[in-house]
Amino acid sequence: MAPGPFFLLKEDELGDWDRFVQRHECGTIYHLSNWKGFLEEVCPHVRGEYVALRNTNSGDIVAGIPLYIATSSLLGTRMISTPFATLGGALVSSAGDMARLRAAIWEIAARAGARRLEIRGLRRPNLTDLKPLAPSSQFLHHFLELPDSPEKLRPRFSRVVRRNIAKAVKGGVRIVEDNSTEALNKFSLMHQSERKRLGLPAFPAHFFQALQKHLPPPRLSVLVAVRQTEVLGMFLVLEHQDWSIAEYIVVTESGREQGAGHLLYWESMVRSIEAGRKFYSLGRTAPDRSGLLQFKRSWGGIEETLMTLTYPTPHSSLMFLSSNPLAGQLARFFFRNVPAALSRTMSSFFYSHWA
């Protein structure tokens, strides 16, 4: 049962990789080859690879990690695991496999000429010894352990959550699933407006279309909150194995007043329980986002720390923006107040370098 050497998987071996992800207890939708296809379509400067270890007897993959090479004239060449993902990192079962994997990561990074390495979304610190990579930032991840009945979940919620759900239901708000191209296009437009309201760069125009293309239903579902004929909010949920992940949500001002956002979360939780899922992720949150943290904590779930390991320390202008509070405030002021056309142009520039 001896493990063999690590190697880069070829295109015709990605089916083996996906089957390994399905088997592994820490495998997520972000580890699948579908995520690679999605990222390479929306981010032409990003190229994905899978480093795997096969058992020499059975030939089965027993450990591995997704690595993405991001090439930018502004930021240089970086190697990342995994861009635009809540959870990530290596899929291993022992410290020995991690040690072998660590050597492979450094070899591949050197071969690619990467100036910076980032391993993101780590949940298992006892298996993340990737020195000289060191913790450089962290996010908080909130998730719920789902019971076998929705009514067993409701008592965990704060009174504010329960009140808003009841308010939306009493006000005639309904949740429907609509995975059509038209619904996704509407979501994309609403999401661009929401990003501008929050002072954040908007995702590329075809971001959500590519997401649905590579992760079609039932892996991705679009929930819509409506009252009569008015759309109050829309919600994109990712589904994989035991997990449902609340990935992207947009709620109008009227929808926020009517509790539509809370009802969208609740309905997606109910659907997850009915589908037999065991966990519901509310996504990751930066520690300084106090309002968002309060919202996620109000659902009564589990809070854990997600680590990002990097080497060397941040040095570039865009990385400075992401880690410096004052720079972040200035960036949000810019994206919130410039004309929409200029905001879209600068957003496109941002995401042509970022990963």
- Count of domains observed in the chain: 2
In a domain, 352, yes or no: no
Beta bridge partners of 141: 284, 304
Q: Of 92, 110, 131, which one is at a domain's C-terminal end? A: 131
Residue 151 and residue 26 share a domain: no
Q: Is residue 314 part of a domain?
A: no
* Residue 355 confidence (pLDDT): 85
153/124 same-domain check: no
Tell me, what's the pLDDT at 181? 94
Question: Domain of 95: which CATH number?
Answer: 3.40.630.30
Tens of pLDDT, residues 96-121:
888 888 888 888 999 999 999 999 98
pLDDT category, 330, cuts 50, 70, 90? confident
- Whole-angstrom CA distances from 211 to 39, 42, 225, 269 are 8, 9, 21, 21
User: Of the spans 49-58, 224-233, 286-295, 307-316, which averages the highest pLDDT?
Assistant: 224-233
* Domain shared by 156 and 294, yes or no: yes
- pLDDT, residue 128, reads 59
- pLDDT tens digit string along 175-234? 999 999 999 999 999 999 999 998 999 998 899 999 999 999 999 999 999 999 999 999
Q: Would you say residue 318 has pLDDT above 60? A: no
Instruction: Answer yes or no: do 69 and 148 share one domain.
Output: no
Helices (H), the chain: 14-23, 33-42, 95-112, 150-153, 159-170, 181-198, 207-214, 253-258, 260-274, 290-297, 317-323, 325-337, 340-351
First-last CA distance in the chain: 38
CB contact at 8 A, 15 and 51: no
Tell me, yes or no, whether 39 and 123 share the same domain: yes
Q: Is 129 helix (H, G, I), strand (E, B) or coil?
A: coil
Q: Is the pLDDT of residue 320 over 80?
A: no
Contacts of 114 (CB under 8 A, 6+ apart): 69, 77, 78, 79
Please check whether residues 111 and 164 belong to one and the same domain: no
At 167 the pLDDT is 98
Q: Is 244 a member of any domain?
A: yes
Residue 275 scores a pLDDT above 50: yes
Q: Tell me what pLDDT residue 338 has.
A: 86
Choose between 145 and 105: higher pLDDT: 145
The mean pLDDT of the chain is: 90
Which of the two residues, 325 and 284, has the higher pLDDT score?
Answer: 284
User: pLDDT by residue (tens digit) across 7-35?
Assistant: 899 999 999 999 999 999 999 999 999 99
Q: Using 50, 70 and 90 to split pLDDT, how confident is the model at 126?
A: low
Asked whether residue 154 falls in the same domain as residue 124, the answer is no
Q: Tell me: do 71 and 150 sit in the same domain.
A: no
Length of the chain, in residues: 355
Domain that holds residue 126: 3-131
Residue 78 lies in a domain: yes
Residue 151 and residue 86 in one domain? no
* Percent of the chain with pLDDT strictly greater than 90: 67
Residue 108 phi, psi (nearest 5): -70, -40
Over residues 66-89, the mean pLDDT reads 93
**Same domain assignment for residues 96 and 150:** no
Q: Is 207 domain-assigned?
A: no
**pLDDT given for residue 75 in this prediction:** 86
CB 285 within 8 A of CB 292: yes
Q: Is residue 328 in a domain?
A: no
Asked whether residue 333 is assigned to any structural domain, the reply reads no
Looking at the predicted structure, is the pLDDT value of residue 2 above 80?
no
Per-residue tokens: 47:
């190229």
Determine, yes or no, domain membership for 187.
Answer: no
Residues 11 and 106 both lie in one domain: yes
Are residues 16 and 116 located together in one domain of the fold? yes
53 neighbors 91 (Cβ within 8 angstroms):
no
Last-in-domain residue among 265, 287, 304? 304
